[in-house]
Amino acid sequence: MPRRIRGLSGKLLWLTIAFVMLAEILIFAPSVATMRLRWLQDRLNTAAAAGVVIDGLQPLELPRQVQDDTLMTTGTKAIVLRKDGTSRLLAVTEMPKEVDAQFDLANYGELQSIRDAFYTLLFGGDRLLRVYGPVGESDMVIELVMEEKALRKAMLAYAHNILIVSLFISVITAILMYLAINRMMIVPIRRLTSNMQSFAENPEDPTRIWFAGDGNDEIAVAGRHLARMQGQLQKTLKQQKNLADLGLAVSKINHDMRNILASAQLMSDRLVDVEDPLVKSFAPKLLRTIDRAVGYTNEVLSYGQTSEADPRRRLFRLADLCQEVRDLLNIGPDSGIEFIEAIAPDIEVDADSEQLFRVIHNICRNAFQALATYVPEDPDYPRRITVSAQRMGAVVSITVDDTGPGMPRKARENLFAAFRGSARSGGTGLGLAIARELVIAHGGTIALVEKPGPGTLFRVEIPDRPVSLNDWRARA
């Protein structure tokens, strides 16, 4: 069997034939009942015409041969005319003792007619029927006694003709519907399927994107959605490829940078031996900065190998870490930006100091860069970065609040997404993405908080490590 006949179009063809045949069957029931009634009514009309003629010949009695010819013409065994309350036997072959069924055509319901018609088709043929009804508009009633054999034969011939016509109509209708629906639906769906297979083989080939038409039907709408999805997928694949290439380049550059920083670290160690007071004050900060840079390069290489280091947690004072962030940002008085530390000296946080430094530094650096390029309408408008913290039970909540222009909507929609969540032109969005990853590694949360005034507010929550009962008892 051809593929099309086995497919959706073939199923549609057979279903159409089946449904049309079902409709014909539903139509056949009242149709065959109507045919039966008409057949009986024709016999009554023929007998009534003969009966009126015979009744006009009174008081003469018809010869036997004429009666037989009349009965043969009407297909009956007896004809009775009832008139003015009396009944007259007009013609008879032999009067039967009893009849099997009788029907009053003047009072015959549709359901009863359908039931009797199917009974005649399925089980009839041997019964003797008594059929009667009025003669035209007069008060005369004509009555026939007849065999059912001729009626059943006529009904079977009618049913056979209906069956042939129904099959012909079903096949023609099914073929027309098949051709129409195959052209309107099956062929476009087959093209969509073929395009999906072709696109799956090489999704980076722009020539394999589905060409969306201008139709308004469901298939045309699906085609436009498919084309949009394929275009978006190609764009995503291109971005992923660019990111992979960028990652490889960063890894190579970072490898060489680590060697350079290692050399700088060796040379900066000698600054400790210099007796100059100014050098002694800056040397520790310079050493810590280079150490952090070396640590960052190692972590970048580890990130490329998807092997992030677990936080090395310890208790330390948060105020000291924020002071280092301030020193590294180097916010001078000529910048017009205030850096406020609203952190109590006794607040300690249980975290990896280097990783938490990166989190707070990334957020504060973003705030500083936003304020540095922000020119408010009011010249007296304060440009300020405020870092505050408080401990609530086993959780330390750290907030970084600035009075800058706020975060654009696009950056809000792609918050914490690398290469998409940058709030400034030329940014990569890596800072917040890295900050979120480090906070989650501590079991904490980082979120952008809505504030009534202008600016941006981030909240970082770091929980303490759960304490083992055995460790607590050992220390106690």
pLDDT at 306 over 80: no
Helix 110-123 × helix 8-56 angle, to 10°: 100
Tokens of 170: 């079903």
From CA 15, how far away is CA 273, in angstroms rounded? 95
Phi then psi for residue 231, to 5 deg, are -65, -40
Region 262-274: what's the mean pLDDT?
A: 62
pLDDT band at 446 (very low <50, low <70, confident <90, very high): very high
How many other C-beta atoms lie within 10 A of the C-beta of residue 47?
31
For residue 462, the cross-strand partners are 396
- At residue 81, φ and ψ (nearest 5 deg) are -115, 120
Q: What is the dihedral of CA 45, 48, 52, 55, to 10 degrees?
A: 170
**pLDDT, tens digit, for every residue of 119-138?**
888 888 888 888 888 887 77
Cβ atoms of 204 and 235 within 8 Å: the answer is: no
More confident residue, 314 or 19: 314
Q: Given CA atoms 280, 281, 284, 286 in this order, what sign does their dihedral have?
A: negative
pLDDT tier, 472 (very low <50, low <70, confident <90, very high otherwise): low
Q: Using 50, 70 and 90 to split pLDDT, how confident is the model at 251?
A: low
DSSP 8-state assignment for residue 466: P
DSSP-derived letter for residue 59 is T
Q: What is the DSSP letter of 127?
A: -
Q: Which residue has the tokens 């096949």?
A: 171
What is the average per-residue pLDDT within 454-473?
A: 83
CA-only gyration radius of the chain, Å: 50
Nearby residues of 199 by Cβ (< 8 Å), 6 or more positions away: 205, 208, 209, 210, 230
The mean per-residue pLDDT over the stretch 307-316 comes to 79
pLDDT for res 278: 67
Residue with tokens 């952090």: 292
Dist CA 350 CA 358 (whole Å):
15
Rounded CA gap, 21 and 172, in Å? 12
The pLDDT-based confidence of 262 (bands split at 50, 70, 90) is low
Q: How far apart are CA 119 and CA 304, in angstroms?
A: 86
Average pLDDT, integer, range 290-305 = 59
User: 3-state DSSP call for residue 60?
Assistant: coil
Distance between CA atoms of residues 107 and 82, nearest Å: 17
Report residue 427's pLDDT band, with 50, 70 and 90 as the boundaries.
very low
Rounded Cα gap, residues 372 and 355, in angstroms:
25
Average pLDDT of the chain, as a whole number: 78
DSSP 160: H
Report the pLDDT averaged over residues 429-436. Answer: 78
Q: Model confidence over 5-63: pLDDT tens digits? A: 556 667 777 777 777 778 777 788 888 888 888 988 888 887 777 766 666 555 545 55
Lowest mean pLDDT among 147-151, 260-264, 356-360, 369-373: 260-264
Closest to 451 (Cα-Cα) out of 391, 399, 413: 399
**pLDDT at residue 317 in the model:** 94
The residue written with tokens 């160690």 in the block is 269
- CA separation, residue 149 to residues 142, 146, 153, 260 (Å): 21, 9, 6, 114
pTM of the full structure: 0.45
pLDDT at 426 over 50: no
Order of strands, sheet of 78-83, starting from the edge strand that comes earlier in the sequence: 86-92, 78-83, 141-147, 128-134, 101-104
pLDDT, tens only, 322-366: 998 888 887 877 778 899 999 999 999 999 998 999 899 889 988
pLDDT in the model for residue 196: 86
3-state secondary structure of 83: strand
The band of 1, judged by pLDDT with boundaries at 50, 70 and 90, is very low
Write out the two tokens for 186: 């099956």
pLDDT of residue 271: 64
Q: What is the pLDDT of residue 462?
A: 95
Residue entry with tokens 């049309």:
20
Model pLDDT for residues 96-114, shown as the tens digit of each residue: 678 888 888 888 888 888 8
Instruction: State the greatest distance between any 2 C-alpha atoms of the chain, in Å, as a whole number.
Output: 162
Question: Whole-angstrom Cα distance, residue 245 to residue 266?
Answer: 32
Residue 82 pLDDT > 70: yes
- When pLDDT is cut at 50, 70 and 90, the band that residue 162 belongs to is confident
Closest CA to 363 of 459, 464, 463: 459
Residue 240's pLDDT band (boundaries 50, 70, 90)? confident
> Pick the residue with more confidence: 85 or 57?
85
Torsion, Cα of 423, 427, 433, 435 (10° steps): -90
Cα(308)–Cα(441) distance, integer angstroms: 9
DSSP string, 279-344: HHHHHHHHHHHHHHHHHHHHHHHHHHTT-PPPP--EEEEHHHHHHHHHHHHT--GGGT-EEEEE--
